[in-house]
A and B are shown apart, each in its own frame.
Chain A
Amino acid sequence: MSNKVIHAIYNDDDILMDAVKKTRAAHHHIEEVFTPFPVHGLDKAMGLAPTRLAICAFIYGCIGISFGTWMMNYIMIQDWPQDIGGKPSFSYIENMPAFVPIMFEETVFFAAHLMVITFYMRSRLWPFKEAENPDVRTTDDHFLMEVAVNDNEKELVSFFENTGAVEVKVIDKH
C-alpha cells in the first residue's frame, strides 16, 4: 500500500511546471519527475536543494591547476630541463608565462571531466545500467510525474486529472 505511486503524464513542459507547483501547494509528495529534456526552473519548482556541483567544479579546477603546475615543473624544469625559444633558465617562475596555457587547459580538463563523472555517480548512472524511467515515452515527448500514494488514491487521481495530465495511472511499485 505504501509502495503505490501515481504516474501523471503530461505532454507540455509549461503544463508540467504548473502541475508541479499545484502538487507542491497541495502538499503531495513528488517522488520524481521524468522529462525528455532539462526543464528550466523545474528543480526550484520541485523544491530540490540547490546543486553543489559548482563547488565540486571549483575544487576540481584547483586540483587541475595544481596538477598542471606540478606537471610542467617536472617535465620542463626538473626531469629534463629544456631550452626552447632561447629561454634557458632553469627556473620555473621565469618560464611560467609559457606554461600558463597548459595550466589553464588542465584546469578546464579536470573541472569538466571530473564534474561529468561526479554528476554520473551522483545520479547513479554507469555503463550497462538498466534505465530507471518507468515509461519510454519520457525519452520522446512526454513528461511524467511520480507521486506517492498514502491511502488517498481516488483523491489524487481526480487531482491530477484536473492539472492537465493526459494520462493518470496508479502503479504498484515493488
Chain B
Amino acid sequence: MYTFSSKLKTFSLILMVAGLLGIGYGFYAAPKDIQAVEEILAADAHGSHEVSKSTEEHEVAGGHKAETAEHKVVSVDTEHKEHLEHVLHQLQNKPWAALYVACIFFLLVTLGVLAFYAIQQVAQAGWSPVLFRVMQGITAYLPVGSVIFFIFLVIIGITNSEHIHLNHLFVWMDPEVVAHDKLIANKSGYLNFPFWIIRAAIFLIGWNLYRYYSRKNCLAQDESTDDSFYKKNFKMSAGFLVFFIVTESIMSWDWIMSVDPHWFSTLFGWYVFASFIVSAITTICLVSLYLKSKGFLEHVNTSHIHDLAKFMFGFSVFWTYLWFSQFMLIWYANIPEEVTYFVTRIELYNLPFFGAVVMNFVFPLLILINTDFKRISWVLVMAGTVILLGHYIDFFNMIMPGTVGDQWFIGVSEIASVLFFMGLFIYVVFSALTKVPLLPKRNPFIEESKHFHY
C-alpha cells in the first residue's frame, strides 16, 4: 500500500495556498473602471495614438462584435471610450480566463486518462493492467475537477443572465451582443445558456458514472472467484468510449470553441482530444515514475515505461498532424471569417502560438525518437514536463485570444491558477492512490502484464 508522504502533502498544500493567494490577487488587481484602464494604457509606452489600430485588432480578436458601418462616422471620442470599455472587459476577463484555462486543462487531462484506461480495457491489453491503479488514482480527480468546473460554468451563466457581467468569457451569453450579431443570433438555438449547461451536466455526470463503476468493478474483481466483473468492465468501457468520443467533440465546441463564437473548425474536437490525451499519457508516465522512484509498483518495469513513452511520442506527432491540418486548410482557403482565428494568434500570440509547436512537437520528436531515451527516467521527466507545459500553452492559445485579446500576459493570475489546480490535483490523486493496493491482483491479464518485456 502506498502512503502519501507528508513532504508531498505539504508541497501540494503550499501549491494550493500560493495558488489561491495569487488568484485572489489577480482578481483584486484587475481594473474596476475605464479610468483605471486609461492609466494602464497610458503607462504602456504606446498609448492612445495606437487606438485605431488596436480597435481593428479587437474586431479580429472576436470580443464584441457590435461594430457596424455607423461607427465609422462617430466621433473619435466615443470610439476611444468604446475602446477603453473593451480593454476593460478584456482585463476583467483575464483572471477569469486564467482560472478557466487551468481548470479545464486539469479536468481534461484526467478525462484523457479515463479514456486511455477505457481503451486498455476494451483492447484487453496485456501490458497495462499493472498501471490500472495508477490510472484510477489519477481519475480520482475527475469528480473534484468536474464539480469545480461545473460551478464555474454556472456562475458565468447566472451572472450573465442577471446582467452582472463579472466576465465576458462567452460573449454569446450576453443578450446585448446576440441582438446585434446575426451570426451568433443564428446559432442561439444551440448556443444558449440552459441547453449549454444541461449538456455540460450530462457529459460530466456520464464520465463520472463510468469512472465510479469501472473502478468499483476493478476492485471487486480482486476478491472475485471468476472474471464476471472483468467482463462487465469490458462492456461498460466499450459503451463509455462511444459516449466519450461524441461528448468529447461537443464538449470542445461548447467549452472552448464557443469563446470565438463566429469561428468554427470541423476537426476541433480531435484537435482538443489530441492535446489532452498526450498530456494524460504523460501524466500517467510521470506519476508512475514518481511511485517507482519511491519503491512502489515493483511490477512496472522499463518496458511499461517504454510503452508509455512511445505513446507520448506518437500522440505528440498526432497532435502536430491535427494542428497543422487545421492550420493549413484555413490558411490555404483564406476565407476571412475563418482565417481571422489564425491571424489573431500569429500577430498577437506569436510566441505562445509557435512556442507550443516547438514544445509539443520539435522537442518531443527530437528527444523521444531515440529508443534508449524512452527508458531513462530523467529524460522522460524532462520531456514530460515540457509536453505538459506546452499543452497548457496550447489550451491558453485556444481560450485567451477570444477572451483577453491582445491584453494577454502570463502573469500572477495564470501561474497561480495552474499552481492551485496542480496542488489540488496532487492532493486528490495521491490521496486516492493510498486507498487501494497498487496491483489489480486478479485481473485476467495480470501475469502477462507483470512479465511484459519488449
Partners in one complex: yes
* A100 close to chain B: CB less than 8 A: yes
User: Given A41-B453, A86-B334: A97 and B328 within 8 A (CB)?
Assistant: yes
**A-contacting residues, B312-335, CB 8 Å:** 324, 327-328, 331-334
Residues of A43-96 whose CB lies within 8 A of B:
54, 58, 85-87
Indicate whether A97 sits within 8 Å of B331 (C-beta atoms), given known contacts A41-B453, A58-B369: yes
Taken residue by residue from 162 to 194, chain B's Cβ proximity to chain A (1 for < 8 Å, 0 otherwise) reads as: 000000000000000000000000000000000
Cβ–Cβ < 8 Å partners of B332 in chain A: 85, 87, 97-98
Nearest B-chain residue to A54, judged by Cβ: B371
Q: B334, A98: Cβ atoms under 8 Å?
A: no
The interface size of chain B toward A, counting residues with CB under 8 Å, comes to 10
Q: Is the CB of A97 within 8 A of B334?
A: no
Evaluate whether A100 and B328 lie within 8 angstroms (CB atoms) in the complex, with A54-B371, A58-B369 already known.
Answer: yes
Known: A41-B453, A85-B332, A86-B334. A97 touches B327 (CB 8 A): yes
Docked pose: A117 CA to B253 CA in angstroms = 47
Q: Whole-angstrom distance between the alpha carbons of A87 and B327 in the complex?
A: 16
Whole-angstrom distance between the alpha carbons of A97 and B357 in the complex?
14
- The answer to whether A98 and B328 have CB atoms under 8 Å apart is yes
Closest Cβ neighbor of B321 among chain A residues: A104
From A44, which residue of chain B is reached at the shortest CB distance?
B453
Minimum C-beta distance from A49 to chain B (A): 14
A-B contact count (CB 8 A): 18
**Chain B contacts with A in 412-454, Cβ cutoff 8 A:** 453
Please report which residues of chain A, range 26-54, place their CB below 8 angstroms from some CB of chain B when the two chains form the complex.
41, 54
Cα–Cα distance between A97 and B323 once the two chains are bound (Å)? 12
B334 — which chain A residues lie within 8 A by C-beta?
A: 85-86
Residue of B nearest to A101 (CB): B328
State the Cβ distance, B36 to closest chain A Cβ, in Å.
42
What CA separation (Å) do A86 and B335 show in the bound complex? 11
User: In the bound complex, how far is the Cα of B327 from the Cα of A86, in angstroms?
Assistant: 17
Hey, which chain B residues are within 8 Å of A87, CB to CB? 332
Contact B324 A100 (CB under 8 A): yes
Q: Separation in Å of the A31 CB from the closest CB of chain B?
A: 26
Nearest to B327 among chain A residues (CB) is A97
Residues of A within 8 A of B327 (CB): 97
- Please give me the residue from chain B that is nearest to A97 by CB atom: B328
A54 to B371, CA, bound (A): 9
Q: How far is the CA of A97 from the CA of B327 in the complex (A)?
A: 9
Per the bound structure, the CA–CA distance linking A9 and B158 in Å amounts to 77
Complex CA gap A41/B332 in Å reads 47
A53 to chain B, nearest CB (A): 11
Q: Residues of B contacting A97 with CB < 8 Å? A: 324, 327-328, 331-332
Tell me the B residues contacting A by CB distance below 8 Å: 324, 327-328, 331-334, 369, 371, 453
13 contacts between A and B (CB under 8 A): A54-B371, A58-B369, A85-B332, A85-B333, A85-B334, A87-B332, A97-B324, A97-B328, A97-B331, A98-B328, A98-B332, A100-B328, A101-B328
Query: Other than the known A97-B324, A97-B327, A97-B328, what 15 A-B pairs have Cβ atoms closer than 8 Å?
Result: A41-B453, A54-B371, A58-B369, A85-B332, A85-B333, A85-B334, A86-B334, A87-B332, A97-B331, A97-B332, A98-B328, A98-B332, A100-B324, A100-B328, A101-B328
Among all A-B residue pairs, the 6 with the closest Cβ atoms: A97-B328, A97-B331, A85-B332, A98-B332, A100-B324, A86-B334
